[in-house]
């Protein structure tokens, strides 16, 4: 038992001592101008990635605009326009068809309740 406790204590000591080994870290001060430029580049890259999506590309082509032309237009935008468009896309409602999905789920649950497969709604009576 003494040998087991000693080996366990050594393992615990080794794990604790290895957790204190810290890798060197390099940090530098970022100027305001560099931060603004990085943010602006991020807005433009997010817009270009948005136009790379398959559903967006199809919608653009249906309106007679190629995704490459849309990306070229993003490159020609001013910083303010790119920032506004990125913010607009980010805040756009993502679940426009949520009401239809909820209605479909309600109908499916209602039918399964009537068939006796589930018991979700108290106002239904099973046919079984």
Q: What is the pLDDT of residue 95?
A: 57
Q: What is the pLDDT of residue 15?
A: 76
Check residues 12 and 20 and name the one with the higher pLDDT.
12
Distances (CA, A) of 67 to 17, 47, 83, 87, 124: 55, 11, 19, 20, 51
Q: Which two tokens stand for residue 64?
A: 């007679």
Tens of pLDDT, residue by residue over 71-128, are: 887 777 777 777 777 777 777 666 556 666 777 777 777 777 788 877 877 877 777 6
Whether pTM > 0.75 for this model: the answer is no
Q: What is the pLDDT of residue 98?
A: 65
- Asked if 113 and 128 touch (Cβ cutoff 8 Å), the reply is no
Mean pLDDT for the chain overall: 77
Check residues 88 and 29 and name the one with the higher pLDDT.
29
């Amino acid at each position: 038992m003494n040998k087991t406790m000693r080996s366990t204590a050594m393992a615990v000591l080794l794990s604790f001592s290895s957790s204190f080994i810290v890798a060197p870290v390099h940090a530098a001060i970022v100027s305001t101008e560099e931060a603004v430029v990085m943010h602006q580049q991020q807005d433009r890259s997010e817009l270009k990635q948005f136009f790379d999506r398959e559903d967006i590309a199809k919608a653009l082509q249906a309106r007679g605009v190629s995704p490459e032309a849309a990306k070229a237009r993003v490159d020609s935008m001013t910083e303010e326009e790119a920032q506004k468009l990125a913010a607009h896309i980010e805040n756009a409602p993502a679940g426009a068809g949520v009401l239809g999905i909820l209605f479909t789920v309600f109908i499916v649950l209602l039918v399964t309740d009537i068939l006796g497969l589930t018991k979700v709604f108290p106002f239904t009576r099973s046919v079984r």
